[in-house]
């Protein structure tokens, strides 16, 4: 907490990152009567895509706007707010952060400045208070400068949720469901039943290889099954195009996670070294998908380590 307070203090001395110009267009796409999203570019966050590699969404109610996620840099957060302003001049009342990964929350400051209340699951506090938060920040300040700099505050939530929560704004109900630990300990999905819509955060990636690392893939798979049983008509993923057939699209993330677990699980059982197992594995079903080159090896290694730990606990 002391570290967080220090970061916030430094930020108030004047962050410049929010003013860095963007070439990238952040355009709202309507998905249902009241809901919109902006779609990030494929692949991992990079200077080429200016860190715009994730999605964010928003729902316009008669009493204000609810936003889901804030994109991956301060200028992108400001651009998201500008995209919302193209659709409505109603105030942004609340931002729900699906999880505290850099690509989903580094844009929060614009919304905080606009007076929105930020909600997230308290599982994220562990990340913010660990070395991982500053380590990722330093990497982003290196790779995404000038859009992210060292002075950028890591904005926490105004309200840390213990578990599921629901609220109604302007007659529209929002159900926040705690799915973690899955992709992260703090995963939240946001269901808007009146719109037949669910914002899945990074439980679902469409059209690309998910970033898995050492995520608990067993629980992630269970979370996918929970999402599938909710049967929403529309699902806005954390990355990739909106899904109009969630059952099918959940299948890609699900199939990939199962494949990682099967291949790396067998290697761990047989005491096959990682390098050898990775080289021997058949990745052909996934090798042509975006983010494969950047993510697959790290994912496989992360799961190898996870499955070793699972084996030792048996």
Which residues of this protein are in contact with Zn ion, per CB under 5 A? 54, 101, 103, 202, 238
Q: Phi then psi for 192, rounded to 5 degrees? A: -125, 85
Question: At its nearest, how many Å lie between Zn ion and the CB of residue 48?
Answer: 17
195 vs 202, beta carbon nearer Zn ion: 202
What is the nearest approach in angstroms of Zn ion to the Cβ of residue 245? 21
Q: How far is the CB of 33 from Zn ion (least distance, A)?
A: 27
Helix (H) / strand (E) containing 57: strand 56-61
C-beta of 70 vs 116, nearer to Zn ion: 70
Name the residue nearer to Zn ion (CB basis): 51 or 238: 238
- Provide Rg for the chain, Cα atoms: 19
Measured from the CB atom, the residue of 54 and 73 that comes closer to Zn ion is 54
* Pick 68 or 172: Cβ nearer Zn ion: 68
DSSP of 271-296: T--HHHHHHHS--TTTTTSTTHHHHH
How far is residue 211's CA from residue 152's CA, in Å, rounded to a whole number?
Answer: 24
| Block residue for tokens 């199962």 | 258
Least distance (Å) between residue 279 CB and Zn ion: 28
Q: Which is nearer to Zn ion, 169 or 241 (CB)?
A: 241
Q: Select from 94, 124, 110 the least CA-distant residue to 17.
A: 110
Measured distance CA(230)–CA(222) in Å, rounded: 13
CB nearer to Zn ion: give 180 or 265: 180
Spatial separation of the C-alpha atoms in residues 275 and 252, rounded to whole Å: 25
The distance of closest approach from Cβ of residue 265 to Zn ion in the complex, given in angstroms and rounded to an integer, is 25
Phi, psi (deg, nearest 5) at residue 146: -90, 5
Q: What is the CB neighbour count within 10 angstroms for residue 213?
A: 16
Report the distance separating Cα 100 and Cα 187, nearest Å.
8
Backbone angles phi, psi at 87, to 5 degrees: -100, -40
Closest approach of Zn ion to the CB of residue 149, in Å: 21
Question: 165, exposed or middle or buried, with CB in 10 Å at 0-12, 13-18, 19+?
Answer: middle
Nearest residue (CB) to Zn ion, 59 versus 203: 203
Pairing of strands 159-161, 56-61: unpaired
Beta carbon of residue 101, minimum distance to Zn ion (angstroms, whole number)? 5
CB 55 within 8 A of CB 76: no
State in angstroms the smallest separation of the CB of 104 from Zn ion: 5
Q: Are strands 35-38 and 197-205 parallel, antiparallel or unpaired?
A: unpaired
At its nearest, how many Å lie between Zn ion and the CB of residue 103? 5
Nearer to Zn ion, 93 or 208 (CB): 208
């Amino acid at each position: 907490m002391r570290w967080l307070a220090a970061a916030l203090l430094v930020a108030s001395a004047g962050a410049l990152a929010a003013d860095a110009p963007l070439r990238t267009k952040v355009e709202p796409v309507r998905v249902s009567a009241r809901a919109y999203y902006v779609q990030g570019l494929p692949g991992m966050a990079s200077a080429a895509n200016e860190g715009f590699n994730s999605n964010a969404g928003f729902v316009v109610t008669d009493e204000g706007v609810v936003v889901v996620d804030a994109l991956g840099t301060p200028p992108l957060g400001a651009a998201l707010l500008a995209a919302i302003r193209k659709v409505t001049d109603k105030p942004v009342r609340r931002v729900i952060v699906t999880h505290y990964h850099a690509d989903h929350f580094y844009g929060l400051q614009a919304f905080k400045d606009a007076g929105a209340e930020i909600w997230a699951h308290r599982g994220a506090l562990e990340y913010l208070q660990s070395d991982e938060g500053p380590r990722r920040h330093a990497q982003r300040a290196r790779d995404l400068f000038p859009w992210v700099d060292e002075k950028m505050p890591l904005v926490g939530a105004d309200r840390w949720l213990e578990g599921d929560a629901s609220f109604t704004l302007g007659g529209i109900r929002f159900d926040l469901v705690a799915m973690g630990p899955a992709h992260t300990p703090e995963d939240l999905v946001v269901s808007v039943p009146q719109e037949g819509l669910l914002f899945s955060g990074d439980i679902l990636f469409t059209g690309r290889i998910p970033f898995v690392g050492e995520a608990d893939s067993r629980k992630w798979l269970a979370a996918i099954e929970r999402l599938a049983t909710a049967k929403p008509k529309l699902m806005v993923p954390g990355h990739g195009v909106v899904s109009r057939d969630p059952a099918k699209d959940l299948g890609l993330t699900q199939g990939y996670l199962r494949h990682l677990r099967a291949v790396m699980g067998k290697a761990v059982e047989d005491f096959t070294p990682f390098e050898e197992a990775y080289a021997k594995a058949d990745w052909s079903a996934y090798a042509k998908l975006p983010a494969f080159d950047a993510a697959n090896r790290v994912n496989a290694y992360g799961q190898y380590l996870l499955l070793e730990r699972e084996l030792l606990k048996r």
